Amino acid sequence: MRKIYITKIIFFTIAMLFCSFSKLYAQTKAQYDIYIKNACVFDGSLSDSTFRDIGLKGDKIVYLGKPLKKVLAKKIIDAKGKIVAPGFIDPHTHADTALNSLKATERANLPYLSQGITTVFLGNDGWGTYNIKTQHEKFRKAGIGTNVASFVGFGPVRQAILANDNRLPSATETEKMKQLVEKAMKEGAIGISTGLSYIPQNFSTTAELIELSEVVSKYGGTYDTHMRNQNTGSIKAIDENLEIGRKANIPIHISHIKASGPAAHGMSTEIIQHIAQARNNGQNVTASVYPYLAAGDDLNILIPTWAKRTGQNQMLANFNQPDSLVVIKDWINMRIKTLGGADKLRLYCPNDTNYHGKTIADLVVKTNKPANDIVVEALTKYPAMEVHSFVMDENDLLNFITTKWIATCSDGVHGHPRAAGSFAKKIRTYVLDKKLISMKFAIYTSTGLTADFFKLKHRGYIKEGNYADLVIFDPKTIKDNATYSNPYELATGIDYVIINGKSAIENGKYNRKLLGRTLKL
């Protein structure tokens, strides 16, 4: 009997140990790397917010639902009083320089990361490389702070075959351009971008663009464009894009949509209605907008194309030709008038206080020189000088911001506050302060809308199985801090930025982790 009793005890003990081990194993298998509780969740759609907990494991969202009674997690984040949204997606940036830097602090992409952006698009305005594989391999090896999706740029494609020549390509040359575009699409480009007001892209024809877009369409990509005209000729420019969309059977995205210059103020209603009609007719067309009234560009936008076709050296040489200079100065006067006057053009030149922060009108008063002389002198000293052009009207901007198929973008450029402020500003100014749009609308146009249009798989929404790109922010304190005088001030109020399941910003501070990935169709 004693042996039987001992045997039962041993069996019972083994059974209990096995049961405990099984439970522990099950818990270990089911544990979360990060568990977010008490979350007010905006899921990236136009649905109302809900209070749900979120469990992350690896790089995915694996739980979204009611609070769990027992949670085993490596990190628990209490999001009480905070908003949890998908990581913001910026479809128009100029973050290429930072992400290609040798410095990890620049590759962190903090101006974007600090406002909750987890994915940036590169190669906008037609300046993207056609060597996508090389670009992405470099990013993966070095490490980058945000996810990256890349366009193949029309500019480098045309330059590779035609240099900066103002002429039509031959059939053979067109075929070579198509081969470069196809190479890029095979290597992971999400589409083609164009900047049709920039040399040499402005020398192209609609037919040329259609042929290249047909290649992109074959791979499921999109056509992203800085149009030929953003002022009184906007409708004609839009019609060119719609034609490209129809004939190439490709979705069209109009970058940083605007009604630029006083003659175009008030045109936003017509522009929106024109695109909406195309959408009603079945075309897949969207746009993006940044929430600022000033554009940012090179000061040489005031110089005629012929005078700068081959670059800065040609521009400077033409300044030294008396006959050319007369024509150039007349053109400068015309451009200044078109843009609303010399008081609307604020120079950005941080290395020289004689220019930096001054409008051209300020310098006219100070120097008693004509505006066109000031421009020529400034560009002679600093051929790459930049300018903030206050050419937009507030009512037009509001029309664009409140349209549900127009996404948020930054068009972030050196020296303009939009690079560090756009997404935070949209929430702070237009949701919380002015109450012109809802929080769910602002988040949808910063996440789900962009992800859907550009076919970013498993991103842009908070749902089980999606990649864990998340932003947690305090609606009381989220704020853009960048200004035209101090354009590099980072946004605040963002408590956590999670990229691919890991925290890059924790308790409002960057933790020096480079968590971004390269994305492709």
Phi first, then psi: give them for residue 287, nearest 5 degrees: -150, 175
Residue range(s) defining the domain that contains residue 330: 297-390
Report the b/e string of 112-127 with b at 16+ CB within 10 A.
Answer: bbbbbbbbbbbbbbbb
Considering the chain, what is the average pLDDT of its residues?
94
If asked whether residues 283 and 401 sit together in one domain, one would say yes
If asked whether residues 136 and 181 sit together in one domain, one would say yes
- How many Å apart are CA 406 and CA 384, to the nearest integer? 31
Is residue 114 included in any domain, yes or no?
yes
Is residue 93 included in any domain, yes or no?
yes
Is residue 44 included in any domain, yes or no?
no
pLDDT band at 27 (very low <50, low <70, confident <90, very high): very low
CATH number of the domain encompassing residue 196: 3.20.20.140
Per-residue pLDDT at 5 exceeds 50: no
221 contacts: CB under 8 Å, gap ≥ 6: 185, 189, 190, 191, 192, 250, 521
Per-residue pLDDT at 18 exceeds 50: no
Per-residue pLDDT at 392 exceeds 50: yes
If asked whether residues 407 and 285 sit together in one domain, one would say yes
If asked whether residues 132 and 261 sit together in one domain, one would say yes
Give 143-155 pLDDT, tens digit per residue. 999 999 999 999 9
Give 98-114 pLDDT, tens digit per residue. 999 999 999 999 999 99
pTM listed for this prediction: 0.92
284 contacts: CB under 8 Å, gap ≥ 6: 245, 251, 252, 453
Give 333-355 pLDDT, tens digit per residue. 999 999 999 999 999 999 999 99
If asked whether residues 186 and 266 sit together in one domain, one would say yes
As for how many domains the chain has, the answer is 2
Is residue 28 included in any domain, yes or no?
no
If asked whether residues 184 and 159 sit together in one domain, one would say yes
Is residue 61 included in any domain, yes or no?
no
Q: What are the tokens at 365?
A: 């008063």
Is residue 49 included in any domain, yes or no?
no
If asked whether residues 325 and 244 sit together in one domain, one would say no
Residue whose pair of structure tokens reads 């913001």 in the numeric block? 88
Q: Domain ends where: 390, 425, 459?
A: 390
Instruction: Report the pLDDT averaged over residues 431-446.
Output: 98
Is residue 78 included in any domain, yes or no?
no
Is residue 513 within 8 A of residue 502, CB to CB? The reply is: yes
Tell me what pLDDT residue 101 has.
Answer: 97
Q: Is 359 helix (H, G, I), strand (E, B) or coil?
A: strand
Tell me what pLDDT residue 1 has.
Answer: 44
Is residue 254 within 8 A of residue 353, CB to CB? The reply is: no
If asked whether residues 368 and 507 sit together in one domain, one would say no
- How many Å apart are CA 167 and CA 200, to the nearest integer? 10
Instruction: Report the pLDDT averaged over residues 161-173.
Output: 97
385 contacts: CB under 8 Å, gap ≥ 6: 298, 299, 347, 348, 349, 355, 378, 379
If asked whether residues 199 and 109 sit together in one domain, one would say yes
Q: Domain ends where: 374, 390, 406?
A: 390
Length of the chain: 521
Give 443-498 pLDDT, tens digit per residue. 999 999 999 999 999 999 999 999 999 999 999 999 999 999 899 999 999 999 99
If asked whether residues 171 and 194 sit together in one domain, one would say yes
Q: In what order do the strands lie in the sheet with 518-519?
A: 88-90, 117-122, 147-150, 518-519
If asked whether residues 386 and 396 sit together in one domain, one would say no
37 contacts: CB under 8 Å, gap ≥ 6: 53, 67, 71, 76, 77, 78, 79, 80
Is residue 375 within 8 A of residue 333, CB to CB? The reply is: no
Cα 126–chain centre separation: 14
If asked whether residues 283 and 404 sit together in one domain, one would say yes
Per-residue pLDDT at 23 exceeds 70: no
Is residue 381 included in any domain, yes or no?
yes
Q: Domain ends where: 390, 414, 434?
A: 390
Tell me what pLDDT residue 343 has.
Answer: 96
